[in-house]
Amino acid sequence: MPANKRPITAEDLNRIHYVQDPQISPDGRAVAFVKISPDPFEKSYKRNVWLYSLADGALLQLTRGDKDAQPRWSPDGSQLAFVSARGDKPQIYLLPTAAPGGEARALTNMENGAHSPDWSPGGDRIAFLAPMSREEREAEEADGEPNPEPADKLEGKHHKERKAEDELKRWDPRPMWRIPYRQGTAYVDERYDQVFVTDAAESSESKPKRLTAIDADHDAPRWSPDGETIYTARTTMPRGDEPWRALNVYRLHAQTGAEDALTGGEYSVYAPKPSPDGKWIACERSPIGATDMPTRLLVMAADASDTRIVNASIDRETIDYAWSPESTLALTVESEGNVSPWRYDPETDELNPAHAGIYEIEQVDAGRGGLLAMTLSTPVNPHELYLLVDGELQEATDFNHALLDEVFVQDVQELRYDSPNGAVQGWYILPVDHRAGDKAPLALNIHGGPHAAWGFSTKSMWHEWQFHAARGYAVFYCNPHGSGGYGEAFERKLHAAWGPVAMDDIMAGVDAVLQLGFADEERMAITGGSYGGYMTAWIITHTDRFKSAVSQRGVYNLSSFYGTSDVPLLISNEFDTEPWDGHDVYWDNSPLKYAARIKTPLLLIHSENDFRVPIEQAEQLFAWVRRATDTPVKMLRYPREGHELSRSGEPGHRISRLTEMVVWFDRYTSVQAGASG
């Protein structure tokens, strides 16, 4: 390690910045985006809109509300619409760009907030989403508005207090009539995102016009280029469970709200984006009822007379997509540990890579002449804004450079190997200050999903892997069968066999790493989250090769998971049976069945408000290991957090999680390993 560098620490997480939602200006001279920075004092994150100038590379912070997102340029580039939660509820604001630093004005004042703005082609109107209940819609239709404006500040205060009290009474007791009844870290109410249109002019006194009236959430609205219609998507089964699994694309008349369904049948189609020339609509498409098949990118004619599956020929999944002003489509494709940009021309039906490199793109926007703006992570930088200009990749922001100038970042090495199921791709990172001939303890990391994928430069894991290496561990991770980025057959290989197939792949990778000579077989640790937690538990119930295990937010009992999670259909779709018909299938594939076998010291990390994988999963495994074995076992419960603890939880909690994990590793993989803790 160079003398002027130091190992990365858990606390360095507070110095890592991320970028989000790049938006190229209509004249192609600037990119608006969101910068996200940890705010340990407030136990949250600051989100502000920034501007990057392509002319001179200058960076300018446009907003300072610390709760700002979704910047959207007006067609003439004179204003930015954005969403800010600086008040009681998120609302849409407009900010002039001619003189940056001016005051933003609130465009909406919706009772339950507003989001997802989209400018009309003429720049005179904005479509957006706002949640409303059936009762609120009926009140609006009867009286002209659901809640009249208060006469003064005191009346407004009393109105908020009365509404809060009425909400408490309304949900005491809380009725649950479909699944999910809770998501994220909150319970679901009966308010659904409806499509609205409002005048953008400051002089306008007209109220937003609601175009939809159905108890179902709508996708972000997108104007047609002629300004006559708006595209959105919503479920085909509003009274069904997990309604997002079956979606149709709709075209709404911008004045009357009259609608036409453009899709239907055996596929779920959503996230429509019309091309600037008005001829095409790009959408995502997935089979209804299938959770282990890659999403396809659909491009159809505006009248739905012609459809193309853009990524079928390459058998890879699209992550994001955006139309260029010339009506060619920029898309990002996940493949073998990278997410790279491609271009598709619907006129010629040609799909071609735009650039190749070692990186992962999260979001993309397209400008004229092949210009792309992308949020992107690399093996040596957790996240920045990048541009693709004339075929050359350029780093536009340097928010993480101050940290990177201080810390030593280890290289990521690719490892291809064979397992009983076929070829598998993995990666390893050597410990900081590793010397040839030394044997280091190994930290095996397993991804979730189960159909997610990691790669050379996965944003959500960049700091964690480098921290493990800084603490003296050789890091290994892989994409076992079932992972995305390798085609449909590879992803389907895991079907109805979550544990055995992935374990074969993972353990074959561990053996391949050991053959390289830098890892100590007697000092191996294992960890993973969500499905990775499932696999951590599965592996330590089927082998004693690991000296330490940290299982995070894992699924351990498929039957009780089905009854408590917000995605029960994941299990019935993956295992082709419901729990009342396939109890033995669920139980045989549950790590909990084998918990009494566990000899590896086990730390369980779980969030108290995790509604994706409820904390009862960890409680069961903790109790079984504690009561059935003399194996050291400990459980950490993180209050206020949900399933995203490791990625977007409170900064202090994320640092605590990292620290507790490595302390547990150290206790059982050190030279003195074997002593009970």
- Mean pLDDT to the nearest integer, 154-168: 75
* pLDDT tens-digit map of 300-328: 999 888 899 999 999 999 999 999 999 99
Q: How far apart are CA 184 and CA 641, in angstroms?
A: 9
Residue 591 CA to chain centroid, in angstroms? Answer: 26
Residue at 515: amino acid letter: Q
pLDDT category at 675 given cuts 50, 70, 90 is: very low
3-state secondary structure of 278: coil
Could you give the strand order of the β-sheet that contains 209-210, starting from the edge strand earlier in sequence?
Answer: 115-119, 125-132, 192-199, 209-210
Mean pLDDT for all residues in the chain = 94
The two three-digit tokens of residue 125, written as one number: 């109107």
Q: What is the mean pLDDT of residues 221-239?
A: 96
pLDDT, position 500 = 97
Q: Among residues of the chain, what percentage have pLDDT more than 70?
A: 96
Q: Can you say whether the dihedral through the CA atoms of 535, 536, 541, 545 is positive or negative?
A: positive
- Indicate the pLDDT class of residue 671, thresholds 50, 70 and 90: very low
pLDDT band at 149 (very low <50, low <70, confident <90, very high): low
Give the pLDDT band (50/70/90) at residue 672: very low
The more confident residue out of 165 and 425 is 425
Q: What are phi and psi of 599, to 5 degrees?
A: -115, -10
Give the confidence band of 475 by pLDDT, cuts at 50, 70, 90. very high
**pLDDT digits over 32-48, tens only?**
999 999 999 999 999 99
Give the mean pLDDT of 488-495: 95
Q: Which residues contact 485 (CB under 8 A, 6 or more apart)?
A: 316, 317, 334, 335, 336, 337, 453, 455, 479
Mean predicted confidence (pLDDT) in 653-658: 98
What are the extents of the domains in the chain?
10-147+185-403, 404-669
What percent of the chain is predicted at pLDDT more than 90? 87
Which amino acid, one-letter code, is at 607?
Answer: S
pLDDT band with cut points at 50, 70 and 90 for residue 100 = low
Q: Which of 121, 160, 140 is nearest to 212 (CA)?
A: 140
What's the CA gap between 388 and 411, in Å, rounded? 24
What homologous superfamily is domain 404-669 in, according to CATH?
Alpha/Beta hydrolase fold, catalytic domain (3.40.50.1820)
pLDDT bin (cut points 50, 70, 90) of residue 674 is very low
Q: What homologous superfamily does CATH list for 10-147+185-403?
A: TolB, C-terminal domain (2.120.10.30)
pLDDT digits (tens, 9 = 90+) for 426-465: 999 999 989 999 999 999 999 999 999 999 999 999 999 9
Domains 10-147+185-403 and 404-669 share a fold: no
Residue type, 212: T
103-112, 174-183, 390-399, 476-485: range with lowest mean pLDDT: 174-183
Structure tokens, 89: 């509820």
Cα separation, 37 vs 32, whole angstroms? 16
Full-prediction pTM beyond 0.85? yes
Encode pLDDT of 408-418 as tens digits. Answer: 999 999 999 99
